Copies of this chain bind each other. A is one copy, B any other.
Amino acid sequence: MSRADTKERILDAAERLFGAEGFHNTSLRGLTSAAGVNLAAVNYHFGSKEALLEAVFERRLVPLNRVRRERLEAVREAARRDRVLPGAADVLRAFIEPTLHFCKMEPGAESFLPLVGRALAEPDDTIRKIFLRHMEPLFLLLYETLCEALPRLSRTQIFWRLHFTIGAMGHTMCMNGRFKILPPGVETPSDAAFLTQVLLDYIVAGMEAPCA
């Protein structure tokens, strides 16, 4: 290695560019040039462009999902101990808070959010699969925990509502700092803690809504 770890430099640039310009719209030439490394370095260190994408997801999602899983399990355990149902607000906060916290603490990780938001809407199955391989078990745990928290609702209802929730989160991550125009009267671009609270107010109410 010459400068501060070539592999990390590539991962950082890939995370940013794949999220900001899209996977297929990012060339290895532009990527290696932005990272300040040689064109051949991607294939030397990762094997292919697709394997690089996989490494980008893995670097963030493995530690992040461990924290989210722990917090979800903690909510379940606390409810079991107190012999009450888990609260939908606690469940959803356990999933969401680590996401924004993680991406604020890890330097450079804030550009990971748009990539995740984008992966959720990705039509290319190859890319979706790489992302979902990491997320699917956790989505399933979240889903089952919400079913415990909301026994009044059918599993089908909860499935769709979780789907809407993921869409709301994903879209918010996509737009992370990308708003061009704000309607008059809208002040704050995005304070993480404020945004988390506004999002939680919304999705908790949506999840707990009565059926028409």
| A interface residues (Cβ-Cβ under 8 A, vs B) | 19-22, 24-25, 114, 117-118, 120-124, 136, 140, 143-144, 155-157, 159-161, 163-172, 174-175, 181-188, 195, 197-212
Residues of B within 8 A of A25 (CB): 24, 123-124
Q: Is the CB of B172 within 8 A of A170?
A: no
From B20, B171, B187, B212, A201 is in contact (CB under 8 Å) with B212
Please, how many angstroms separate the alpha-carbon atoms of A129 and B197 in the complex?
A: 30
- Say yes or no: A22 contacts B24, CB within 8 Å: yes
Pair A185/B167 contact, Cβ less than 8 Å: no
Task: Name which residue of chain B comes closest to A157, CB basis.
Answer: B198
Contact of A19 with B123 at beta-carbon distance under 8 Å, contacts A172-B163, A210-B201 already known: yes
- A124's partner among B21, B124, B160, B167 (CB-CB below 8 A) is B21
The answer to whether residues A197 and B172 also contact, given A155-B186, A156-B185, A159-B182 and a CB cut-off of 8 A, is no
Residue in chain B with minimal CB distance to A195: B160
The reply to whether B123 and A20 contact each other, CB–CB distance below 8 Å, is yes
A21 close to B164 (CB less than 8 A): no
Having A123-B174, A205-B210, one finds 18 other A-B pairs with CB under 8 Å, namely A19-B123, A21-B123, A22-B22, A22-B24, A22-B122, A22-B123, A155-B186, A156-B185, A159-B183, A160-B199, A161-B202, A163-B175, A164-B172, A164-B202, A167-B170, A197-B212, A203-B206, A205-B208
